[in-house]
């Protein structure tokens, strides 16, 4: 399947706009771990996800990470083309969390389309509102939800994303997702283990009582 | 001065669009304390600020507040018309923090303009990116900045906003801005007082050493 099947408002575009996108878009393979975008100085273009999984996160001065949202098949990543919008004044980093394949629509091509097509401009509005909603959800979580509830929700989400009740993830990596220190994660995981909600072993976390984790998360 | 001088991209609009906005916009006075918008079910329209000061905040289930940003003269408030964008899935509350005057552009009128004018649609994109940037700044603050630094920065900002080194604000109100409990604010203010950075008295906080507060905030 091509860009036609993955770009959300394809049918609303004119044949000319479709042709422009098809000729400009570059299909790229990004193996797991690839850094695809790093901060606002970097403005390669919009990513249209064909397959795989990307992670968007921010980085503190001390090197601490916080996952903002993930991108999956058919998602479009706007902030990898943040120079499209003068008012974007923050740095987001995007990496491939699984082996991924995506089309890159160069920023200058998209900018031209956005300046002339009200369809594309309004699509961009919806795209940004979607990410804004994800970040607002996150801010409510970090402000008002205790860490045990956030961690339980994170473990359950990971398990669903990977279709496996055993997670292959380090405490360090969990800390990166959640914007906290490794020690804080380890302490809470040990508490969960003592409560028989999960079993820890080297490099894996087995969720042994998902029902209790779910009750905690809610 | 009228809407023509306050709506940011007025000169880029067609005479027809200008006439539509002028005939639809309603000038409203909002005395300090007026609740202008409450959550996504409420979709009165865009606010174009003529004078005064609005505060946009979110509310936790437990009734705790967190200030997201403020709006001043010539600012445009988009999320009071959140029904314009399907993907806006969060509830923001907007109140007049000072006596204010603003034009309300009804949502249905703006929606029609946005659907037909690429200028207005792209202006909306910039507007949302601006607010997004403010929220991203906030998330970095709450994640990675200790509370003493955030409080020092808040007190200095308040002093600048009001042009007065004595703040007339309750600890409760500061807690509402910062998404925390009153006790936490009181404890830290007392610590600042013990360090001779400010002087507390009933209902006021006098910043006696702004230089030290600034050093702390940075």
Tens digits of residue pLDDT in B130-153: 999 999 999 998 888 889 999 999
Instruction: Summarize pLDDT for A161-181 with one digit per residue, the tens.
Output: 999 999 999 999 999 999 888
Q: Would you say residue B40 has pLDDT above 80?
A: no
- Does residue A11 belong to the interface with chain B, where contact is any CB pair within 8 Å? no
Residues from chain B that touch A89, judged by Cβ atoms under 8 A, are: 133, 136-137
Tens of pLDDT, residues A11-53: 999 999 999 999 999 999 999 999 999 987 789 999 999 999 9
Average pLDDT of span A82-111: 94
**B 47-106 residues with CB below 8 A of A?**
58, 60-62, 64, 66, 85-90
Which of A61, A85, A119 is most worth mutating to test chain B (most B CB atoms within 10 A of its CB)?
A: A85
Decide if B139 and A137 are in contact by the 8 Å CB cutoff. no
Cβ of B11 under 8 Å from any chain A Cβ? no
Cα(A122)–Cα(A111) distance, rounded to whole angstroms? 13
Q: How far is CA B182 from CA A54, A59, B69, B188, in A?
A: 40, 30, 20, 10
pLDDT at A143: 87
Angle at the Cα of B179 from the Cα atoms of B175 and B181, rounded to 5 degrees: 50
Residues in chain A within 8 Å Cβ distance of B125: 85, 114, 121, 124-125, 128
- Closest CB from B61, B121, B130 relative to A121: B121
Integer Cα distance of A104 and A54 in angstroms: 14
Residue A63: pLDDT over 90: no
CA nearest to B124 within chain A? A125
Residue of B nearest to A119 (CA): B115
Q: What's residue A163's pLDDT?
A: 92
Q: Please state, in angstroms and rounded to a whole number, the distance separating the CA atoms of residues B82 and A90.
A: 23
Contacts of A114 in chain B (CB under 8 A): 118, 122, 125
pTM for this predicted structure: 0.88
Query: Number of residue pairs across A and B with CB atoms under 8 Å?
Result: 122
Structure tokens at A19: 């042709």
Q: Check if A131 contacts B (Cβ < 8 Å).
A: yes
Query: Is A138 within 8 Å of B139 when comparing Cβ atoms?
Result: yes
Percentage of chain A surpassing pLDDT 70? 100
Q: Which tens digit of pLDDT belongs to each residue from A133-153?
A: 999 999 998 888 889 999 999
ipTM: 0.87
The tokens for B72 are: 């001043």
For residue A106, the model assigns a pLDDT of 96
Chosen for mutation from B132, B137, B150, B181 (greatest number of chain A CBs closer than 10 Å) is B132
Nearest by CB to B143, from A118, A127, A179: name it: A179
Q: How confident is the model at residue B212 (pLDDT cuts 50, 70, 90)?
A: very high
Do the chains contact at B132 and A131, CB–CB below 8 Å? yes
């Amino acid at each position: 399947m091509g860009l036609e099947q993955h770009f959300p408002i394809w049918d609303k575009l004119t044949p000319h706009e479709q042709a422009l996108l098809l000729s400009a878009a570059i299909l790229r393979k990004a193996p797991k771990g690839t850094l695809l975008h790093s901060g606002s100085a970097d403005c390669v273009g919009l990513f249209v996800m064909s397959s795989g999984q990307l992670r968007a996160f921010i980085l503190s001065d001390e090197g601490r990470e916080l996952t903002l949202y993930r991108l999956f098949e058919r998602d479009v990543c706007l902030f990898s083309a943040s120079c499209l919008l003068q008012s974007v004044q923050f740095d987001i980093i995007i990496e491939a969390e699984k082996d991924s394949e995506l089309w890159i629509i160069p920023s200058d091509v998209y900018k031209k389309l956005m300046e002339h097509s009200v369809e594309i401009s309004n699509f961009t509005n919806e795209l940004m509102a979607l990410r804004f909603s994800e970040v607002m959800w996150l801010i409510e979580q970090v402000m008002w939800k205790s860490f045990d509830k956030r961690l339980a929700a994170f473990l359950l989400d990971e398990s669903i994303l990977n279709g496996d009740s055993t997670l292959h993830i380090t405490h360090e990596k969990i800390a990166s997702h959640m914007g906290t220190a490794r020690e804080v994660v380890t302490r809470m995981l040990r508490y969960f283990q003592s409560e028989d909600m999960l079993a820890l072993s080297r490099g894996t976390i087995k969720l042994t009582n998902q029902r209790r984790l779910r009750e905690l998360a809610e």
